[in-house]
Amino acid sequence: MMGKAVRERFEELKKNALKDFPGMDGKKGITIYVGTATCGRSAGSLEVLSSFEDILKTLNIEARIVQVGCHGHCYAEPMAVVSKPGWPPIMYGYLTPNRAQILIRRFFNEEDPALEWALGAMEENDIVPTVYETPRWSRERRWLLKNCGCIDPEDINHYIAVSGYEGLTCALKIEPLEIIEEIKKAGLRGLGGAGFDTWKKWDICRDAPEFPKYLICNADEGDPGAFMDRTILESDPHSIIEGMIIAGYAIGAESGYIYVRKEYPQAVSVLTTAVYQARELGLLGKNILDSKISFDIKINQGAGAFVCGEETALIASIEGKRGMPNPRPPYPANRGLWGKPTLINNVKTLASIPKILVYGNEKVSSVGMEGCMGTAVFALAGKIKNAGLVEIPFGTTLREIIFDIGGGVPPIIKVSNVAGELPKTIKKQFKAVQIGGPSGGCLPESLLDTPVCFDTIVETGAIMGSGGMVVLDEDNCAVETARYFLEFTQKESCGKCTFCRIGTKHMLNILADITQGAGIMEDLDLLEELAETVKQGSLCNLGKTAPNPILTTLCYFREEYEAHILDKRCPSLECKDLIAYYIIPEKCQRACDACVGSCPTEAIYTRRDRLKAIDQEKCVKCANCMDACPAQYDAVIKISPISQLPESEPRDDNRSN
């Protein structure tokens, strides 16, 4: 009986929502969607937005501007979709305030859609190729990101108009155990990184005898280079809220928390609005959609500790204590927040729930691979052409993600200072990909054909983690990469347990020594032993995974460690203490002094033969001269080991530099 009333109530909401929803089809007039999530804003989308407003006013064009979230194509921000009657909706990238103005003038005055700035159309048509045909979109399977960038996250009616809260309506029609069964059949695993079966967690929590129960959405994304959760929080907050209501119903919890880091101010504000609007429409609070179910959400801001992503530390933090992990068992599902059974799921896991109920488990589990069904979202960053978010079926290989979707490693472009001469493109080789952030591992080219899934990635020594993928190229040193991540984990260690608090410090010191050329071969054995014991002995997953960057680089790039130690050489020419900048006399040009002014320490002097040279005593290795040297000469190089530096030529005493 409950089902019917719920459905009616939902249809009412949807009818109402559709009234005002502009849609992409242009039927309701001209609409311009501007992406104003954090990535867009930092690329200048707010300026683009006001530029659109200005020009529309000047030209007296009646149009609606909608602020939307992020499509995940962060590399092309600022982005906008222009939907004009008679045309398919067209997506534009790399906008500037100026381009926005020109675009509108051309499109609306001259019927010229300025296709050179277009990424593609958002709908099938005969005029403009669609974005879905591009290599990136064609391989993606957008379920979690489906609404991101297409709806206004601060208007609940947009979400409802695109069938949001439909999953909840389906869920309320069936029994909690049937929901859990559905999740089980869909094969959903914890997308926060651990990959634990979601249904099992729910089931344990549901079976726990104590009441009340709590539900927590873990939105404490803290890995450097990861921003999947932020995008979903900012672009499609209701998918999380809807997932939480369903989860609450399934396990018998009536209150939920969203634990979101304070460093995501926009996410916090979007969520606050979303929760408020959901309450207004009766989707949160007592008797949701006129059913007997009640559920409400509180937003909790974390104070910026990486360790609070760990379940037990997160709970301590919500309770107002210092965010420190506790031994498990007892697991939160039995004894969590305020000592009560608590379910903690990641943002992406919860956002998947409504989709499973709407699509049905067969559809979801038909995608992916054995043991890992459905899709995964990755954040591509580092030395990659198309940085941003990608959502792919599990089982896609790393190579496909990095090269086919991400566009591979971008070259370096060096500009010549001769008029008319083309810039020089210097190709860069792929070296490794760091998966799973500071807790993950560094995988070389030879492992790129690994299909992505929780279990296959663990076999390589990395972890799936929450989905950060940082691409490294030939200029990135493996030892320095490990050192960088260890510095992060050491600072973020909560300080509770011996292995993590002190062990990571020793490992960091050893790595620092090696990058400075002060390492010895015995260090490698000690490093390995420390890494293994810290991994085994630490209390929580922060410590248990902190050695992964070391263990994987030691395994796949051991020769680089050895080069640093034995030859005092950094093969990637990155470690400052092991390199020197040098101007090749044969390439240096007498008439040029482009490098001289670029040097912050006046280390560049003129030799007796009027060529330039670097005073190594003064050089601070900032690389400015290398960038300043025009492409047609390209005379500045890095040399490692420093002992290979040719002897320096005397200075021309008649000159000041």
Partner 1 sequence: METLSLTINGKEIVAEKGKKVLWAALENGIFIPHLCSAGENSLPFGGCRLCFVEVEGKKEPVASCTEEVTDGMIVNTRTASVLRLVRMAFELIMSRHPIICRECPANKKCALQDISREMGFKLKPKKLPQILPDLPVDDSHSLFTYNPNLCVLCGLCVYICNEIVKEAILDFNFRGFITKVGTFQNRPLAKAKCNSCLKCVEACPVGALSRK
Nearest in space to 277 (alpha carbons), one of 152, 365, 428, 106: 152
321 versus 610: smaller Cβ distance to ligand SF4: 321
Minimum distance of partner 1 from residue 491's CB (angstroms): 5
Non-local (6+) Cβ contacts of 49 within 8 A are 34, 36, 65, 67
Question: DSSP string covering 601-631, please?
Answer: T--EEEBTTS-EEE-TTT-----HHHHHS-T
Return the residues of window 494-513 that contact partner 1 according to CB under 8 A.
Answer: 494-499, 501-506, 509
467 versus 543: smaller Cβ distance to ligand SF4: 543
Q: Does 28 bind partner 1 (CB under 8 A)?
A: no
Which of 65-73, 147-155, 167-175, 487-495 is the region at the interface with partner 1 (rule: CB under 8 A)?
487-495
8 A C-beta contact, residue 262 and residue 302: yes
Binds partner 1 by CB under 8 A, chosen from 161, 530, 546, 604? 530
Binds partner 1 by CB under 8 A, chosen from 36, 67, 326, 460? 326
Binds ligand SF4 by CB under 6 A, chosen from 325, 336, 441, 547? 325
Q: 10 Å Cβ neighbour count for 584?
A: 15
Binds ligand SF4 by CB under 6 A, chosen from 28, 105, 501, 506? 501
Binding track, positions 256-295, relative to ligand SF4; x by CB under 6 A: ----------------------------------------
Minimum distance of partner 1 from residue 320's CB (angstroms): 11
8 A C-beta contact, residue 32 and residue 82: yes
Binds partner 1 by CB under 8 A, chosen from 533, 601, 643, 644? 533
Q: Which of partner 1, ligand SF4, none sits in contact with 63, Cβ below 5 to 8 A by type? A: none
Q: Does 329 bind partner 1 (CB under 8 A)?
A: yes
Binds partner 1 by CB under 8 A, chosen from 242, 480, 492, 560? 492
CB-count burial class (<10 Å; 0-12, 13-18, 19+) for 338: exposed
Nearest in space to 86 (alpha carbons), one of 57, 118, 127, 130: 127
Return the residues of window 332-371 that contact ligand SF4 according to CB under 6 A.
Answer: none
Instruction: Find the residue with minimal CB distance to ligand SF4.
Output: 543
Return the residues of window 79-108 that contact partner 1 according to CB under 8 A.
Answer: none
Tokens for 496, please give them. 């509770």
Q: Which of ligand SF4, partner 1, none sits in contact with 503, Cβ below 5 to 8 A by type? A: partner 1
- Cα dihedral 483→485→489→492 (10° resolution): 110
- Can you tell me the distance from the alpha carbon of 370 to that of 374, in angstroms, rounded to the nearest whole number? 10
Minimum distance of partner 1 from residue 338's CB (angstroms): 14
185 versus 501: smaller Cβ distance to ligand SF4: 501
Binds partner 1 by CB under 8 A, chosen from 19, 298, 491, 610? 491
In terms of residues, how long is the chain? Answer: 657
Q: Which of ligand SF4, partner 1, none sits in contact with 427, Cβ below 5 to 8 A by type? A: none
266 HSE (CA, 13 A, CB side): 21
E-strand spans in 197-318?
Answer: 214-219, 255-261, 296-302
238 versus 483: smaller Cβ distance to partner 1: 483
Total residues in contact with partner 1, by rule CB under 8 A = 32
Binds ligand SF4 by CB under 6 A, chosen from 31, 291, 466, 538? 538
Tokens 């064009």 appear where? 61
Binds ligand SF4 by CB under 6 A, chosen from 307, 390, 452, 635? 307
Q: What are phi and psi of 141, to 5 degrees?
A: -130, 100
Q: Does 319 bind partner 1 (CB under 8 A)?
A: no
Tokens 């952030």 appear where? 437
- Can you tell me the distance from the alpha carbon of 439 to that of 468, in angstroms, rounded to the nearest whole number? 10
Nearest in space to 553 (alpha carbons), one of 420, 460, 641: 460
Tokens 């998947």 appear where? 352
Nearest in space to 389 (alpha carbons), one of 193, 235, 165: 235
Binds partner 1 by CB under 8 A, chosen from 490, 515, 548, 553? 490
Tokens 């940085």 appear where? 387
Q: Does 3 bind partner 1 (CB under 8 A)?
A: no
Minimum distance of partner 1 from residue 230's CB (angstroms): 23
Q: Which of ligand SF4, partner 1, none sits in contact with 542, Cβ below 5 to 8 A by type? A: ligand SF4
Return the residues of window 469-498 that contact ligand SF4 according to CB under 6 A.
Answer: 493-497
Q: Which of ligand SF4, partner 1, none sits in contact with 533, Cβ below 5 to 8 A by type? A: partner 1
Tokens for 570, please give them. 């950094």
Q: What are phi and psi of 354, to 5 degrees?
A: -60, -40
Which of 318-326, 367-375, 404-412, 626-634 is the region at the interface with partner 1 (rule: CB under 8 A)?
318-326
Distance of CA 362 to the CA centre of its chain: 29
Q: Does 539 bind ligand SF4 (CB under 6 A)?
A: yes
Which of 281-289, 490-498, 557-565, 568-576 is the region at the interface with partner 1 (rule: CB under 8 A)?
490-498
501 versus 506: smaller Cβ distance to ligand SF4: 501
Nearest in space to 642 (alpha carbons), one of 579, 551, 600, 582: 579
Which of 194-202, 256-264, 397-405, 523-531 is the region at the interface with partner 1 (rule: CB under 8 A)?
523-531
The DSSP bridge partners found for residue 636 are 583
Note the helical H segments in 377-477.
398-399, 454-460
Binds ligand SF4 by CB under 6 A, chosen from 55, 95, 500, 550? 500
- Can you tell me the distance from the alpha carbon of 344 to that of 275, in angstroms, rounded to the nearest whole number? 19
DSSP three-state, residue 639: strand
Minimum distance of ligand SF4 from residue 549's CB (angstroms): 15
Nearest in space to 455 (alpha carbons), one of 337, 386, 371: 371
158 versus 335: smaller Cβ distance to partner 1: 335
Q: 10 Å Cβ neighbour count for 265?
A: 12
Q: What are phi and psi of 288, to 5 degrees?
A: -60, 130
Q: Does 327 bind partner 1 (CB under 8 A)?
A: yes
Residues that bind partner 1 (CB under 8 A): 305, 307, 322, 324, 326-327, 329, 490-499, 501-506, 509, 526, 529-530, 533, 536-539
Residues that bind ligand SF4 (CB under 6 A): 307, 325, 493-497, 500-501, 538-540, 542-543
